[in-house]
Structure 1
Amino acid sequence: MVSTLFGLIAVTEVVLLALVVTLRRKHPHWVLNLLILVVAALIWDNVVIAMGSTIGFGDVLHALSLPRFWTHALLVPLLIMVGVGLGRGYGLRLLGGRAAPAAFGVLTVLLIAAGVREEIIALDLEPTRYADTLRYTNAASEGPPIPAIIAILVLIGIGVALQVRARWPWLLAGAAVMFVAAGAGAAVLWVSNLGELALILTVWLTAANLLRTGEPAPGRDRLTAA
């Protein structure tokens, strides 16, 4: 039953990926490029968990599981820059100029480095059962995923600013749901994956809302050039 749920999450994310790709074709921009990478990584994660009980523990599932951790380390922090790009598109003054994007860029690199250390260099996969799922987890993991938590907190901050500046609540809502789901996911695995789906959906909605006219509002960054 739980394996089926992960499969349904993966299918929903495939549909969402198609929506992001369609938006990218109409409005080429680096924000959407990064979002496509993140969604693809989430799809892989859910597909592997959904298929784990069918494949069974062994070399095949072990090999398929490695990219789950690699992409998590390398791509999840990129959501910070996605949020920054969208915030600039909506004309957030705190993200104007070059200093703020540069600072968030440095933060993103640092979080990627931290993720590489824990989820690539120190990765130690061990077989784990949860309900009817079979998957590999990182035995070397030391507590909660700090890079992911920081990325979520940054998105919450940008979401608050978007609500104040543009009366757009959805990025804040998605990031808040993800924050709560990440905590609950320690006890109930699938909750955090549903939270990821909610977050990506609201990021796509935020981008689609910004781009629906094809032109930025006065004072906004143009979000239609790659």
Structure 2
Amino acid sequence: MDFYFYLVFTLSYLILLIVGFVKRREKNIMSLTFFLYLVIVGLIVDNAIIAFGKFIGTDSLLENLHLFRYWTHAVITPTLILFCLGVLQKSGKKYFSTARAIWITFTCTCVLILIEIITVVAVIELKPVLEYGILHYVPVKKTAGSILMIIIVSLILLVTGFLVYIFTSWKWMLVGAIIMGIGSALPIKVESTAFTNALELVLMISLVATDITFSNKE
């Protein structure tokens, strides 16, 4: 059953990517909000690898594909912080466009990427696991680095969503961040590996909606 979930996620992200590019009027690829679409590309690859793992089988190819997943996660996910700064810039508050704000944000992003690489992917060992019809490779040991990165990025998304709501009354980024946070924190028993991925999709939909709305206001 999970195969169909991950297939739907992959197609949904592909549609979301296309909709984002088509609907937003701003085409400047130098805009910080464009990092959101880099993350979505990573999620397309991520969910496709998980979905089709059982067709590849337990071998070095699938293991290397999953290793690639962890590398892309480490390098791309922290760039959501840059997206957050881009959204705050579009909210009309001049402070977020200052060199200091940009420098701090880029520094935080780079630090999180380095932490994730050094503490997770550089030392990761993977093992094959078959769950709910999905064959994928997971870390032999959980590390604190990845959890730290996710917590920090999630908090920044939540705070940004709150500030955007205060500044502009746009609530959907905040709603998406809250759903993601509560869903990840609560010990919900689900007979599937796809629950967190479903929450990620809800979050990404809220972020794309936010980007389209603010890009078209300019």
Gaps of 5+ in 1: 216-226
1:118–1:140: 8 Å Cα contact kept in structure 2?
Answer: no
Structure 2 gaps, min length 5 = none
- CA distance in 2 between counterparts of 1:193 and 1:104 reads 26
Q: Once the two structures are aligned, what percentage of the paired residues are identical? A: 26
Which letter does structure 2 place at the counterpart of 1:3? Answer: F
Structure-to-structure mapping, 1:102-117, within 5 angstroms: 102-117=103-118
Change in 2 beyond 3 A, CA 1:171/1:94: farther
Does residue 168 (structure 1) correspond to residue 154 (structure 2)? The answer is no
Give the equivalent residue in structure 2 for 1:2.
Answer: 2
Aligned length: 214
| TM-score computed with the length of structure 1 as normaliser | 0.86
Dislocated runs of 4+, deviation >4 Å: 23-26, 184-188
Q: 1:98 to 1:186 in 2, by over 3 A?
A: farther
- 1:87–1:137: structure 2 CA closer, same or farther, 3 Å change rule? same
Bigger Cα displacement from structure 2, 41-50 vs 138-147: 138-147
Q: Residue 136 of structure 1 aligns with which residue?
A: 137
> Alignment RMSD, CA only?
2.1
Equivalent AA in structure 1 for residue 12 of structure 2? T
- CA spacing shift, 1:97–1:32, aligned 2, 3 Å: closer
What pairs with 1:80-95 in structure 2 (closer than 5 Å)? 80-92=81-93, 95=96
Distance 1:203 1:92 in 2: 19
Structure with greater contact order relative to length (CA < 8 Å, sep ≥ 6) = 2
Quick one: distance in 2 between partners of 1:153 and 1:130?
30
TM value normalised by structure 2: 0.89
Aligned-pair CA distance for 1:178: 1.8
Deviations, residues 18-41 of structure 1 (Å, cap 9, x unaligned): 122335675224334312211011
User: Secondary structure of the residue that 1:137 maps to in structure 2?
Assistant: strand
Paired residues of 1:119 and 1:138 also in contact (CA < 8 A): no
